[in-house]
Amino acid sequence: MVTQFWKNILKKISSNPFSKKSHIKLGLYGPPNGGKSTLANRICLDWLGEEMSTVSHIAHETREINIKEQVSIKNKKGRELTFSLVDTPGIATRIDYEEFLKKGMKKTEAKKRAKEATKGVIDAIKWLDNMDSVVVVLDATKDPYSQVNITIIGNLQARNIPVLIAANKVDLKKSSVEAMKAAFPQYEIVGISAKYGKNIEDFYEQLFKLAK
């Protein structure tokens, strides 16, 4: 805790408050299957013309930290923001290889995936300290009060890392951005569909505010 305090002080001293940051490390965090990689792909497709991650309906598809350097986005006012986009594995408190068996995987494959997934969660948590800003990608059809959501957001707050919450999957009938807003009233929340690009312009505008 003391180390973290000094890290935060050093971080503040080393940054020039009069210069506008143009290159930041932007992390995508959240529980598995919230749509982090889909959002990473959407951002990269929109601004670089290529995808960066593979996506799947089976949880823990992303099991390693993926980084896309030099992603530049522009807003309507012509401002440019350049960042390294960091797509992280979903953070979970439980990983059972038998869940993968139910999705039709073979036992060896399922066990391997589970082992890689546990390492991915550990890496994602360790990488929290490297982030300048974070977009927490949450599935808007799911319970916002999940402890994983609260722990991720709480840890970002404890590290003084600016947070934007992307309430994803608003194209689905069950989604509720309002429920997300009620659960996290102190945070900026933008409802999006990373898959179909719904409301993505608002999301990009929010990124500029996040990186201020």
Partner 1 sequence: MVTFHFVPYQDIENLGSAKRVNKLLNIVKEDKIVIMEGRLRKEEEADLIEITMEEINAKFHGIELSVISPETYSQNAVQKIKGVFANVLLGDRIGFTIIGPASVVKKIERNPDKIEMFMKESVNGKKKKRR
Tell me which residues touch partner 1 (CB under 8 A).
1, 4, 91-96, 114, 118-119, 121-122, 125-126, 128, 143, 145, 147-148, 150-151, 154-155, 157-158, 183
Considering beta carbons, is residue 7 or 79 the nearer one to partner 1?
7
In the complex, the smallest distance separating the C-beta of residue 141 from partner 1, rounded to whole angstroms, is 14
In the complex, the smallest distance separating the C-beta of residue 80 from partner 1, rounded to whole angstroms, is 34
In the complex, the smallest distance separating the C-beta of residue 87 from partner 1, rounded to whole angstroms, is 19
In the complex, the smallest distance separating the C-beta of residue 106 from partner 1, rounded to whole angstroms, is 16
Q: Are 138 and 165 in contact (CB under 8 A)?
A: yes
Give the CA dihedral 196, 202, 208, 211, nearest 10 degrees. Answer: -70
The DSSP element (H or E) to which 134 belongs, if any, is strand 133-139
Q: Which amino acid is located at 1 in the chain?
A: M
In the complex, the smallest distance separating the C-beta of residue 159 from partner 1, rounded to whole angstroms, is 9
Closest to 39 (Cα-Cα) out of 80, 88, 111, 4? 88
Considering beta carbons, is residue 145 or 196 the nearer one to partner 1?
145
Rg (CA), the chain: 17
In this structure, the number of other CB atoms found within 10 A of the CB of residue 149 comes to 24
The strand order across the sheet containing 188-191 reads 66-74, 80-87, 23-29, 133-139, 163-168, 188-191
